[in-house]
Amino acid sequence: MDELDEIRSLRAELEEHNRRYYVDDAPTISDYEYDALMRRLEELEAKHPEAQGPSPTQHVGGRASEKFAPVRHAVPLESLNDVFSVDELAAFVQRVDAALEESHEYDVEPKIDGLSIALEYENGVFVRGATRGDGQVGEDVTENLLTVRSLPKRLKNAPAELTVRGEVYMARETFERQNEQRELEGKPLLANPRNAAAGSLRQLDPAVAAERELDVIVYNIQSSSREYATHTETLDALRGMGFDVVPYALCTSVDECVRQIELIGDGREQLRYDIDGAVVKVNSLAQRTALGSTAKAPRWAAAYKYPPEKKESVVRDIIIQVGRTGVLTPKAVVEPVRLAGTTVTNATLHNQDFIAALDIRIGDTVVVQKAGEIIPEVLEVKKDARPDWAVPFEFPTVCPVCGSSVVRDEDGAAIRCTGAECPAQRLRNIVHFASREAMDIEGLGTGVAESLINAGLIQSPADIYYLDAQSVAALDRMGKRSAEKLLAAIENSKTRGLARLLCAFGIRQVGSKAGKVLARCFPDLDSLKNANLMELVNIPDIGPITAEYLVDWFQSPQSEHLIERLRAAGVDFTSHEEAADTRFAGMTFVLTGTLPTYTRDEAGAIIERLGGKTSSSVSKKTTYVLAGENAGSKLTKAEQLGIKIIDEAEFRAMAE
């Protein structure tokens, strides 16, 4: 086999391994073997620059640039004018009729709710893909598009030059499967297929994009070196080249268009993708050119937008879930209804006030709507359909899980369980502790955490670090290999450092951002623990309420116990964040007299936050004496020793 043949065969082989790894999640060779093949291909490609074409060295496993490069679209990616009613659609058709003398046809297609994309092919080979951006300039997302299975990388019988426009989307089935998996792993859920697709396509790491399993469907030729007469002809040609193409129907009147729009709307549940409308387009390409465009959109097309789907259902029950921070969240369990492509069985009721405002009762007929997010909401109550027996809902006064009393937040609508040992909180605490933004323990999601708790193996997050492989392997659906994998992930998590550890503790208002802020100001957990309220309040971005939550948390015996068990397990308590401003490091300040605006504590906290120390007596080691009104003997001593004396204004300037 000559080297060019070897390149071809290596490319095919590596593509196949990529597919097994990224798509099937079932690799058949080790990373080491994969790397060796990749290295050989890189070597050969360097030697043979003439061996052009898509290559695994250029995408999956390769590194995407830090930022996506801008791409100017040769033909702008225009948007569409929306119509929201049959009348508005009729007005659009009338405008077209008035402008065109000859007879004309319309093509009606579903409007896919994804992400607009331009795909460039040269001699049938996919060379570049870019997002819509502002329509003129988009972002080069070729690397990520190369991981999309339904994107043909090489076309059959293609024109020499071709740019196609389409939509990248996440299939509904994929979306639901991925969310089930995420729920099990304790990862945050994807909000909806569109956001999932958008987020994935703009991932800097193509491997992450690949994991999300996106799809592409096309609906327009932007430019081509081959001539076509009609839009439907281009769609048929695109299908012949190997694209997944949007389905279409040809219509000759408004009535036919409306009928088709209704058919698409009724059939939306059978489609693999979400749609948010139907597009009506003039079919003849010559007539399109004659009609032209306004500054914003073509005159030859209109997007009919379906209203968000609403349906009536009956409230079977109102249940209360207890979250990690103990908040009781009410949910309506409703008679299952199909809504915008999924079966809805519950709807959020937000909080006690929401239930009271709408007077939602068990037995009520309610209108539910799904407005693009996962959890549907209750819009209104059909009071006239209320059964006689329906009584106002009484919000529980004790936690439905542990029976502890509940309290309402002083400044909000949330009602919280006060039970420190509440099992519902315990589970969520552990799942949160292990979550990606916290200690990032892969494989420790809700399902596994629940089994560990039920088997009596863990109660608090610290117990995770004392698990043994044998007991874990004995759990249902576990086995030796997964147990070992889990324990390795747990071991690995010990080194995450202070910022993530703080986030993992689940202290109220201390998430990953506050965790990082604190880890920049304190070298380790113990110094944070010893900080007083004043020091914490003085940290920018840490408000007085958060500071109080922190102090309270560190004072509780449970936290003390947790910290000591984590310490004994060898969890790293030190900060990995770059230290905050330490401009007073190595300096000692003595405060004397009354300062015009700061109290001594406040000034002291500022000094400490910036790395300095305070002392009560003046000595040769004193760097500055910060003097206010009625300063006494300390000032005299400082003068004698020749120590620099500053007032509040100077101090403020130094600290600012």
CB of 103 to ligand IVH, least distance (A): 22
The separation between the first and the last C-alpha atoms of the chain, rounded to the nearest angstrom, is 70
Among 45, 140, 167, 535, binds ligand IVH (CB under 6 A): 167
| Alpha-carbon gap, residue 115 to 100, rounded angstroms | 32
Q: Please say which residue, 17 or 111, places its beta carbon nearer to ligand IVH.
A: 111
- Burial (CB count <10 Å: 0-12, 13-18, 19+), residue 257: buried
Q: Please say which residue, 167 or 608, places its beta carbon nearer to ligand IVH.
A: 167
CB of 507 to ligand IVH, least distance (A): 43
118 binding ligand IVH? (CB under 6 A)? no
Tokens 């001593």 -> residue: 637
Among 10, 301, 339, 344, binds ligand IVH (CB under 6 A): 301
Of the residues 47, 67, 111, 620, only one is catalytic, namely: 111
458 binding ligand IVH? (CB under 6 A)? no
116 binding ligand IVH? (CB under 6 A)? yes
Residues 287 and 107: beta-carbon distance below 8 Å: no
Stretch near ligand IVH under the rule CB under 6 A, chosen from 109-117, 485-493, 560-568, 635-643: 109-117
| Alpha-carbon gap, residue 93 to 252, rounded angstroms | 10
Is 111 one of the catalytic residues?
yes
Total residues binding ligand IVH (CB under 6 A): 16
478 binding ligand IVH? (CB under 6 A)? no
| CB environment 545-558: b (16+ within 10 A), e (fewer) | ebbebbeebbeeee
Among 196, 246, 434, 448, binds ligand IVH (CB under 6 A): 246
CA nearest 545: which of 536, 535, 554, 557?
536
109 binding ligand IVH? (CB under 6 A)? yes
Among 242, 298, 511, 593, binds ligand IVH (CB under 6 A): 298
Six-digit token string for 138? 């988009």
279 binding ligand IVH? (CB under 6 A)? yes
Stretch near ligand IVH under the rule CB under 6 A, chosen from 50-58, 296-304, 323-331, 525-533: 296-304
Q: At what angle do helices 557-569 and 544-555 cross, to 10 degrees?
A: 70
Stretch near ligand IVH under the rule CB under 6 A, chosen from 105-113, 390-398, 403-411, 542-550: 105-113
Six-digit token string for 111? 């409007």
79 binding ligand IVH? (CB under 6 A)? yes
381 binding ligand IVH? (CB under 6 A)? no
| Alpha-carbon gap, residue 245 to 234, rounded angstroms | 10
493 binding ligand IVH? (CB under 6 A)? no
78 binding ligand IVH? (CB under 6 A)? yes
CB of 167 to ligand IVH, least distance (A): 5
DSSP percent split of the chain into helix, strand, coil, nearest 5: 40, 20, 40
Side-chain half-sphere exposure of 646, counting CA atoms within 13 A: 19
Q: Please say which residue, 298 or 372, places its beta carbon nearer to ligand IVH.
A: 298
169 binding ligand IVH? (CB under 6 A)? no
Q: Please say which residue, 131 or 346, places its beta carbon nearer to ligand IVH.
A: 131
283 binding ligand IVH? (CB under 6 A)? no
Q: Please say which residue, 83 or 337, places its beta carbon nearer to ligand IVH.
A: 83
Among positions 39-68, residues that touch ligand IVH (CB under 6 A) are none
Q: Phi-psi bin for 403: left (phi > 0), alpha (psi -120 to 50), beta?
A: left
CB of 218 to ligand IVH, least distance (A): 9
CB of 350 to ligand IVH, least distance (A): 31
Stretch near ligand IVH under the rule CB under 6 A, chosen from 77-85, 419-427, 489-497, 630-638: 77-85
Q: Please say which residue, 118 or 349, places its beta carbon nearer to ligand IVH.
A: 118
Give just the sign of the alpha carbon dihedral 553, 556, 560, 563. negative
287 binding ligand IVH? (CB under 6 A)? no
> In terms of C-beta distances under 8 Å and separation of at least 24 residues, what long-range contacts does 576-581 make, across chains too?
576/497, 576/498, 576/499, 576/519, 577/497, 577/498, 577/499, 577/516, 577/519, 577/520, 578/520, 579/520, 579/521, 579/523, 579/611, 580/520, 580/521, 580/609, 581/609, 581/610, 581/611
Tokens 């006239």 -> residue: 384
111 binding ligand IVH? (CB under 6 A)? yes
Q: Please say which residue, 132 or 609, places its beta carbon nearer to ligand IVH.
A: 132
Stretch near ligand IVH under the rule CB under 6 A, chosen from 33-41, 297-305, 336-344, 363-371: 297-305
| Alpha-carbon gap, residue 355 to 336, rounded angstroms | 20
Among positions 495-524, residues that touch ligand IVH (CB under 6 A) are none
> In terms of C-beta distances under 8 Å and separation of at least 24 residues, what long-range contacts does 28-35 make, across chains too?
34/61
CB of 301 to ligand IVH, least distance (A): 5
CA nearest 172: which of 279, 275, 26, 25?
275
Provide CB contacts within 8 A for 359, sequence distance 6+: 381, 383, 392
| Alpha-carbon gap, residue 625 to 66, rounded angstroms | 49
Per-residue HEC secondary structure of 146-159 comes to CCCCCCCCECCCCC
> Can you give the binding site for ligand IVH, defined by CB under 6 A?
78-80, 109, 111-112, 116, 132, 167, 219-220, 246, 279, 298, 301, 303
What residues are annotated to the active site? Answer: 111
